[in-house]
Amino acid sequence: MKTLGPLRTDPAEDDPAAVRRSPAAAPDAGPATGRAPRRPGARTPGSFSRFGVNAILLLVVVYTLAPPVWLLMASTKDLTDLFGTNGFAPGRHVHLLENLRHLFTAENGIYIRWLGNTLLYAGGGAVLAALICAMAGYAFDKFTFPGQGAAYGLVLLGVMIPSAAMVLPTYLLAAKTGLVNSFWGVFVPGLVFPFGVYLARIFSASYVPDEVIEAARMDGAGELRAFRSVALPMMLPGFVTVGLFQFTAIWNNFFLPLVMLSNQKLYPVNLGLYAWNASALSQGHPDDYLLAITGSLVAVVPLIALFVSVQRFWRSGMTAGAVK
């Protein structure tokens, strides 16, 4: 009969290497956290990524603020300071009020007319375009009709076509209908906004439940009444968003008025400023430089005022649906 030897409970008695592998044999090692101890002053990968992000954001801020700061500083100068001082420094004698007075009185106040034209083109066009887009997006979302997929495909195709590529066909159509060199030749094309239809359909699907529309129909409301009284208030953030996009697009539109208009009294403000700048370059009228610079500064003010006044609607549209 074989006799069992004594039980061994310490593996280190037979395996001296186990002593070297045991945590107790390494008194200098750090706590067992699964990570190597970090040397003092060493940078973590996260610090490099934060530095890179902050550097990129700083470049974006500088790129965004440099043009308006230069515009503001240049508007405070006379012709001597404009070409003889640092572009980002104010004039040695502030001439902003004199430049504004000269701007609004030059050529019998033509700048005021240009500004009014732009407000009509952009303001009226943005409101009507947003309403058309809201109705079209609501129809694509809530109704089923023959050719719906093909029609929506054409809308998406219109989104992908650059607006500049449509200027020449638009001009040819306006020439056939007698709208060239008229207010309507610039106003009517601004009502077409395929991207706004796409956004409006998304807002309709997200913010207007089908059950609410069905309840309105059961209460006797017609389709137009259901849209006007029920769907449109619920789509208000989307309506404001589409309107802001189109207002900015029409306000900054330059190529279409350049091709369509030859009467200076119908010019929008950006085309009028271009005419003043071209006059200063080609005809040797240096005063027109100050008119173009000061007019550009004034033209920025309505856009800033609009965004500040409607930002609460836009912010609510971006955060709607985040909390159930």
pLDDT, tens digit, 9 for 90 and up, residues 164-212? 889 999 999 999 999 999 999 999 999 999 999 999 999 999 899 999 9
pLDDT, position 226: 92
Return d(Cα 324, Cα 315) in angstroms, integer. Answer: 17
Mean pLDDT in residue range 134-151: 93
Cβ proximity of 23 and 32 under 8 Å: yes
Give the residue with greater pLDDT, 246 vs 287.
246
125 Cβ neighbours under 8 A, 6+ residues apart: 187, 190, 191, 246, 247, 250
The tens digit of pLDDT for each residue in 73-103 reads: 998 888 888 888 888 888 777 788 998 999 9
As to burial, measured by CB atoms within 10 angstroms (0-12 exposed, 13-18 middle, 19+ buried), residue 76 is buried
Q: What are the φ and ψ backbone dihedral angles of 170, each rounded to 5 degrees?
A: -65, -40
Task: Output the pLDDT for position 177.
Answer: 92
Tokens at 28, concatenated: 């200098």
The residue among 240 and 14 whose pLDDT is bigger is 240
**What's the half-sphere exposure (Cβ side, CA atoms, 13 Å) at 169?**
7
What is the structure's pLDDT at 187?
96
pLDDT single digits (tens) 225-250: 999 999 999 999 889 999 999 999 99
pLDDT score of 29: 46
Residue 37 has pLDDT above 90, yes or no: no
Statement: residue 6 has pLDDT above 70? no
Question: In a 3-state reduction of DSSP, which class is residue 10?
Answer: coil
pLDDT at 273 over 90: yes
Q: How far apart are CA 283 and CA 274, in angstroms?
A: 13
Q: Please compute the mean of the pLDDT values over residues 13-17 and round it to a whole number.
A: 49
Decide if pLDDT at 4 tops 90: no
130 Cβ neighbours under 8 A, 6+ residues apart: 196, 239, 240, 242, 243, 246
The 3-state DSSP class for residue 113 equals helix
Q: Return d(Cα 94, Cα 83) in angstroms, integer.
A: 15
Which backbone phi and psi does 305 adopt, to 5 degrees? -60, -40
Instruction: Give the contacts of 324 (CB within 8 A, at least 6 positions apart).
Output: none
In this predicted structure, the answer to whether residue 139 has a pLDDT above a threshold of 70 is yes
Show the domains of the chain with their CATH numbers: 51-94 (no CATH), 119-319 (1.10.3720.10)
The Cα–Cα gap between 46 and 196 comes to 40
- How far apart CA 312 and CA 167 sit, in angstroms, is 34
- pLDDT band for position 41 (50/70/90)? low
